[in-house]
Structure 1
Amino acid sequence: MTDKSQNLYSKFLLIWFGQFISVIGSGITAFALGVYVYQLTGTASSYVFILMCAFLPPFLLRPYGGILADRHDRRLMMILGDFGSTLGLLFIFTMMLKGNIELWQIYLGIAISSVFSAFQEPAYKALVTDFLPENQYAKASGLMQLASSAQYLISPFLAGIILTIMDIKFVFLIDVTTFLIASSIVVWIRKTLGGVTIKKPEKNNMADLREGVQEFSKNRGVVNLVITTMLVLFFVGLLQSLFVPMLLNLTTVKTAGITQSICASGILVGSMFIGVFGSKNKHVKTLSISLFISGIFFANLGLSTNIAFVTLAGFLFFATLPFINTSIEVLIRKNIDNSKQGRVWSIISMVTYLGSIIAFTVSGFLADKIFNPLLEADGLLSQTAGSIIGVGNGRGIALMFIISGLMISLIALLIWKNKKIKELENIESQDNKLSQNKYYVET
């Protein structure tokens, strides 16, 4: 590694650390608000609506955020995104200080904060390609997943402690502080490296968006991989939206937080392994095997009411995710020209997270109105499926997890048989090599 490459890698690690701190703060807020709303209403739908407010605005705005990430300094986009995210948090904090905060005010504050993540996330993803050579993509992906896992690994545990010693409204001030730390690091690095000049002719937004869509759609292997990822994220979205409500029907808030943290430590183990050792070149094989195994572990989440068994299944499921995510990211990154990655990543994120958005939209209804009633004491499935997985509150959610896990394993088999996805393995990424570290020019 050259001195320049080492310097850029060090700068990337500083940015990554700032995002790591910020994710912890956001995770504390998410867990605390989720428990607060679920205990207030007792319905999965009200809990899931928090996720909708967090995911829907960036989902709708992400393509435009990707365009900006390609047309402006990506570091500046991250700074604006982090600073802007504090606005919604401060709104909720202000409403709580006034007393008698209503649910719609919580939802609005979350939505305001999440709008700015649409501009921050594509810039952060594309920044990897600016700072690092291709042989470090997998390692960077592992580190980024490690940071993302902090909201599940560290945040629930911290939130449980914080909520026992202070009022929930002060959680938002903690989150604001972490955003400021993250943005301050990027400000310092931008000042150290200087401004940037983008080697790109000026175009209007629609032209840039069309170019991004064309770059994404011209590779059928990338399209097939993204669509299958969208299907996987639908089932993972069901887990994301209903795991805490299921746990709260099995145990206390404190134990639910500990369980979620232990489960997420699986991501920590997998991400650290990839971050230290990287990953092998056979990414399609790794993806298929990891995804198949993850589906089996996913299904086991619903088989028992024993919290230790659920925790073990969750740990094993989350441990497979870094291998899945890294394989997908490397296969896509090496097949997309760097100068267009901001737009393409935003489009890919929009397509894949459509699965999560659909899951968040329907999961509350499916749990409250269909599956949970089926597994009540006098439900239609109480004598069949109920004899295996149990009956009562939350067991309908458990059945949803079993079905979802089996579907994920089936999708893994389809990926293994897809010739277009296998062809992604053989691309040498010449465009990326030529454009590496040329997209940004220090001034």
Structure 2
Amino acid sequence: MDETEKSFHKFLLLWAGNFVSSVGSGLTSFGLGVYIFKQTGRASLMALVTLLAFLPSLLLSVPAGVLADRYDRRILMVLGDSLSALGLLYILLCLMQGEAQIWQICVGVTVSSVFASLLEPAYKSTITDLLTAEQFSKASGLVQLAGSAKYLLSPVLAGFLLGIADIRLLLIIDICTFFVTVSTTLVVRKGLTGRSVPVSSSMASELREGFRGLTEKKGVFLLAAMGSAITFCLGVVQTLASPMVLSFSNSTVLGTMMTVVALGMLVSSFILGSITIKKGYSRLLASSLFGAGVFMALFGLREDIIFISVSGFLFFAMLPFANTSIDYLIRTNVGNQIQGRVWGIIGLISQLGYVAAYAVSGILADYVFTPLLLPEGVLAGSVGKILGTGDGRGIGFLIVLAGLLLCATAVMLSGMKSIRGLEKRGVYEP
């Protein structure tokens, strides 16, 4: 077995740990969402918890990227994975004493998110350490397959477990997954040279260097900036899909539906993991995003669980192609020595859309769009004739609008020459 094959096998071991971690975090995410909605009936509070689980990791992703370039990336992954369990332990202890209050859940998910911020830049940079450029598209498909586990396996598993136990069991399982992921990371670390560099410059200067690495190619910076519009649309459907379905169904149906729609990501990730794409990434990006926008709009169109499941399946099927295209175009145009910093900055810029979606979508759904499409609402006689009226139809309307916005973003991306040019100017050297 040559060194390239050995490195890919190490990547597969690291990926397996990430897969287990994804299943565990999906259990917690699904369980907390159902718990909060049953306690309050408000989409805005579900969105608040989602925001607090996301925002600290986003804000800390840039300094975490600097650390990933300074120090051993595998040790950072171990620390992030282990310490993030503290927030879950806090929520579990609160539940052991009775019902957890919303503010207690908020504290727990925030603490977990702070330490989880160490993971993403270190993990993405480690993939570059292990693989050659020709293996990136295959690895990206597998990484997205692991990420899809939280949508594919976790909801149906959580729905079953909630039928025989309560959310405390889900938290315990999630906490236990940290032992698996930490072990696989330590095993992979044994075969790699530690990345600890002399700290001869300040964090501010290293951040400036990372920002220069991001902006020296206009197309890379535009991908990060346009990513904000993309993640805003995705954040809307992520936040509102559960309350929309729960408005006319139950948690068991929701869990089954989420598993079915995540099969789309599974199928696409398997395809990407078994083939090698050599060119056409910019066209693939635009077309897959446009398709995702169309199916997102259809997702919110009707209160029909079969129609929603099919639309959601096709929506999820588009995402791995878009993610792989973005990943390849950035990874091959940024030098490995600064990738930790660049990925951290890109994460901050591109995922600001999630912050905006999590902050406003629940409020808009509860206080603006839902009243508009109640039977006596202002839009009941117009939009209501197409979408229907009722408690969840305002949420559906908001998801439709987000899907149309994603289509418009895809059209804009297709016309940007600087993004198409990234396929001709890669700088990566294995």
TM-score with structure 1 setting the length? 0.95
CA distance in 2, matches of 1:291, 1:100: 41
C-alpha separation in 1, matches of 2:308 and 2:78: 39
Give the number of aligned pairs: 430
The offset of 1:194, in angstroms, is 5.5
Residue type of the alignment partner of 2:283: K
Partner letter of residue 364 of structure 2?
L
Counterpart of 1:105 in structure 2 is 104
**Corresponding position of 1:150:** 149
User: Does the CA-based 8 Å contact 2:56-2:117 persist in structure 1?
Assistant: yes
Structure 1 distance, partners of 2:126, 2:406, is: 31
Gaps of 5+ in 2: none
Matched residues in 2 for 1:416 and 1:117: separation? 34
Q: 1:298 aligns with which of 296, 315, 321?
A: 296
Spell out, residue by residue over 1:1-41, the C-alpha distance to the aligned partner (whole angstroms, 9 max, x if none): x6111111101100100010011000001100100001100
Contact 1:283 1:331 (C-alpha < 8 Å) held by counterparts:
yes
- The aligned amino acid for 1:414 is M
Equivalence for 2:227: 229
2:88 and 2:331 mapped to 1: Cα distance?
33
Residue in 2 that maps onto 1:214 = 212
Q: Please point out which of 388, 392, 395 is paired with 2:393.
A: 395
| Whole-Å separation in 2 of the counterparts to 1:30 and 1:363 | 18
Q: For the residues of structure 1 that align with 2:195 and 2:180, how far apart are their CA atoms?
A: 26
* Distance in 1 separating the partners of 2:101 and 2:413: 45
Using the alignment, how far apart are the partners of 1:53 and 1:93 within structure 2? 17
Equivalent residue for 2:329? 331
d(CA) in 2 for partners of 1:281, 1:202: 40
Q: Please state whether the residue corresponding to 2:117 is helix, strand or coil.
A: helix
Residues 272-299 of structure 1, C-alpha deviations (whole Å, 9 max, x = no match):
1001113241100111111111111111
Give me the whole-angstrom Cα distance separating, in 2, the residues matched to 1:161 and 1:202.
53
Note if contact 2:70-2:197 (Cα within 8 Å) is conserved in structure 1. no
Q: Identify unmatched segments of 5+ residues in structure 1.
A: 437-443
Q: Aligned-pair RMSD on alpha carbons?
A: 1.2
| Equivalent runs, 1:239-388 vs 2, <5 Å | 239-388=237-386
Change (3 A) 1:214 1:250: same
* Residue aligning to 2:403: 405
Aligned-pair CA distance for 1:181 = 0.6
Instruction: State the shift of 1:412 in Å.
Output: 1.0
Q: Deviations over 1:404-427 (max 9, x none)?
A: 111111111111111111111111
- Equivalent AA in structure 1 for residue 79 of structure 2: L
1: CA distance, partners of 2:206 / 2:420: 29
1:39 matched to which residue of 2? 38
Displacement of 1:199: 5.8
CA contact (8 A) 1:250 1:307 kept: no
TM-fit CA distance, 1:93: 1.1
Structure 1 residue runs of 4+, over 6 Å off?
none
Question: For the structure 1 residues 105 and 385, does the alpha-carbon distance in structure 2 shift closer, same or farther, using more than 3 Å as the test?
Answer: same
1:422 is the counterpart of 2:420: yes
Offset, 1:50: 1.5
In the TM superposition, residue 202 of structure 1 has moved relative to its aligned partner by 2.9
Distance 1:290 1:76 in 2: 36
Distance in 2, Cα, partners of 1:202 & 1:80: 24
